[in-house]
């Protein structure tokens, strides 16, 4: 059996959870079946039985294109390019809307069954219009088209399955729940503290940690607003880069400047760091904070848990299935608007609640240690990539057999 993956992110160009998912899933699947990856970038490799080829786009062709349209239009162009080489595979597997057009073409042109993994859903990310303008209508259209014609859909959580069935015209039998995984041999507590010194983190003082993109979805502005209510003797480390838009980049910049004027110890690492560095940060943080306002799964919480760090996270989406309240961390309720479930009804209250949860763990070192141990145990027991890959392979077999019978 051979699976052909279509994806935006693939090493060395990962910037979010979907890229991490594809990297580790393909690595584990390649032990079971043949795997090929077609992705965005300049990759050209054949490592560990995975052939990977990146597809760029002609910058000159887009020199006069409105900035907000470059992403969706170049995405469609790359989807066509990915199909100019024969898709010799038994199944195509698409990840995020960026890859869906490529998958649709392969399904139609080459008659290959298509599996789509939902890492997020465009109807639940209305702030994307800020980034893409009317290009958001294109991303929404191609996602809807792909999901409604997919042979099978993988939802990474129960909440995601519910959303898929609510928002799209799909048979529930076509939606399988297969969670994200984590390599618990790689994400382990780190003894090194080299990165702490590198970034000016005082090793004699505790710090709380945020890791993620500067995006509305990640709720980082709500965390910024919570900082002035967090114990002043604790450092705040924000490992946050790659802003979605110039607007949120400026909002982040002004927010950090505002809180720095009120307290010391706010450290902003303005880039996405490598794995050894992030492991050090996870390990030595007193608390990891995930204030997302939309999160179908939230793999970063698993990474922190695997490094034995307690988590304070918003009680949304798949996070509630990963973080066990009062056992591996604390979940903060997020009272959302009924008509726009992506912003807190009372942003100030949400920020205060985040700060209160963080402070309660900072005040109890024994509880933090207990939660950290429990988090590691949960990550190992329930979220191995080996188990995830086996479920995905079984799903491939079922869609291939169903296609033969149809």
* CA distance linking residue 51 with residue 70, whole number of Å: 28
pLDDT tier, 231 (very low <50, low <70, confident <90, very high otherwise): very high
CB 140 within 8 A of CB 147: no
* CA distance linking residue 175 with residue 241, whole number of Å: 33
CB 209 within 8 A of CB 221: no
Report residue 227 as tokens: 């900082």
- Please give the share of the chain, as a percent, with pLDDT higher than 90: 78
Mean pLDDT (the chain) is 93
Q: What is the DSSP letter of 325?
A: B
In this predicted structure, the answer to whether residue 313 has a pLDDT above a threshold of 90 is yes
pLDDT at 342: 63
How do strand 34-40 and strand 44-47 relate by DSSP bridges?
Answer: unpaired
How do strand 44-47 and strand 50-55 relate by DSSP bridges?
Answer: antiparallel
In this predicted structure, the answer to whether residue 271 has a pLDDT above a threshold of 60 is yes
Angstrom CA distances, 73 to 53, 117, 213, stand at 20, 22, 23
Crossing angle of helices 385-405 and 17-29, in 10° steps, is 80
- The CATH code for residues 194-382 is 3.40.50.2000
* CA distance linking residue 286 with residue 283, whole number of Å: 8
Angstrom CA distances, 125 to 7, 74, 240, stand at 19, 20, 20
- Which residues face 290 on adjacent strands? 313
The three-state secondary structure class of 287 is: strand
pLDDT tens digits for range 43-61: 999 988 899 999 998 889 9
Element holding 47 (H helix, E strand): strand 44-47
Q: How many CB atoms neighbour CB 335 within 10 A? A: 10
Q: What is the DSSP letter of 173?
A: G
In this predicted structure, the answer to whether residue 297 has a pLDDT above a threshold of 80 is yes
Cis peptide before 12 (omega within 30 of 0): yes
In this predicted structure, the answer to whether residue 306 has a pLDDT above a threshold of 80 is yes
Element holding 157 (H helix, E strand): none
Report, as an integer, the average pLDDT of 29-41.
97
* CA distance linking residue 330 with residue 376, whole number of Å: 15
Closest residue by Cα to residue 372 from 328, 331, 325, 319: 328
* CA distance linking residue 289 with residue 308, whole number of Å: 14
pLDDT at 51: 96
pLDDT tens digits for range 130-157: 778 888 999 999 999 999 999 999 999 9
* CA distance linking residue 403 with residue 144, whole number of Å: 21
CB 369 within 8 A of CB 283: no
Q: How far apart are the first and last CA of the chain?
A: 19
Integer-rounded Cα radius of gyration of the chain: 21
Parse the chain into domains and list their residue ranges.
2-181+384-405, 194-382
Count of CA atoms in the C-beta half-sphere (13 A) of 269: 23
Report residue 363 as tokens: 């005040």
pLDDT tens digits for range 187-199: 999 999 999 999 9
CB 174 within 8 A of CB 150: yes
- The contacts of residue 136 (CB under 8 Å, 6+ apart) are 122, 126, 128, 129
- The CATH code for residues 2-181+384-405 is 3.40.50.2000
């Amino acid at each position: 059996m051979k699976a052909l993956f279509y994806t935006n992110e693939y090493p060395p160009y990962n910037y979010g959870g979907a890229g991490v998912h594809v990297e580790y899933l393909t690595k584990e699947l390649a032990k079971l079946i043949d795997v090929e990856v077609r992705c965005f970038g300049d990759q050209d490799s054949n490592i560990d039985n995975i052939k990977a080829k990146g597809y760029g786009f002609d910058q000159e062709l887009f020199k006069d294109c409105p900035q907000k349209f470059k992403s969706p239009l170049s995405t469609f162009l790359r989807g066509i390019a990915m199909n100019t080489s024969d898709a010799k595979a038994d199944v195509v597997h698409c990840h995020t809307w960026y890859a869906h057009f490529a998958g649709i073409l392969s399904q139609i042109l080459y008659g290959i069954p298509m599996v789509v993994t939902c890492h997020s859903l465009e109807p639940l990310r209305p702030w994307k219009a800020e980034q893409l303008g009317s290009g958001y209508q294109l991303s929404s259209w191609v996602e809807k088209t792909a999901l409604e014609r997919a042979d099978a859909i993988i939802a990474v959580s129960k909440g995601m399955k519910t959303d898929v069935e609510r928002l799209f015209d799909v048979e529930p039998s076509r939606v399988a729940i297969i969670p994200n995984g984590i390599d618990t041999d790689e994400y382990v507590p780190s003894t090194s503290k080299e990165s702490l010194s590198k970034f000016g983190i005082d090793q004699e003082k505790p710090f709380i940690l945020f890791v993620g993109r500067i995006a509305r979805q990640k709720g980082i502005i709500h965390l910024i607003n919570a900082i002035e209510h967090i114990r002043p003797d604790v450092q705040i480390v924000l490992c946050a880069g790659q802003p979605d838009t110039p607007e949120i980049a400026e909002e982040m910049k002004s927010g950090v400047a505002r809180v720095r004027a009120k307290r010391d110890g706010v450290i902003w690492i303005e880039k996405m760091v490598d794995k050894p560095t992030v492991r050090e940060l996870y390990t030595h943080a007193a608390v990891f904070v995930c204030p997302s306002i939309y999160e179908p799964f939230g793999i970063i919480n698993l990474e922190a848990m695997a490094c034995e760090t307690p988590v304070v996270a918003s009680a949304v989406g798949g996070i509630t299935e990963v973080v066990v309240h009062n056992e591996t961390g604390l979940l903060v309720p997020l009272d959302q608007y009924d008509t726009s479930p992506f912003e807190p009804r009372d942003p100030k209250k949400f920020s205060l609640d985040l700060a209160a949860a963080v402070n309660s763990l900072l005040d109890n070192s024994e509880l933090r240690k207990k939660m950290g141990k429990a988090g590691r145990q949960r990550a190992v027991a329930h979220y191995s990539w080996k188990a995830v890959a086996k479920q995905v392979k079984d799903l491939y077999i079922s869609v291939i057999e169903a296609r033969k019978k149809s």
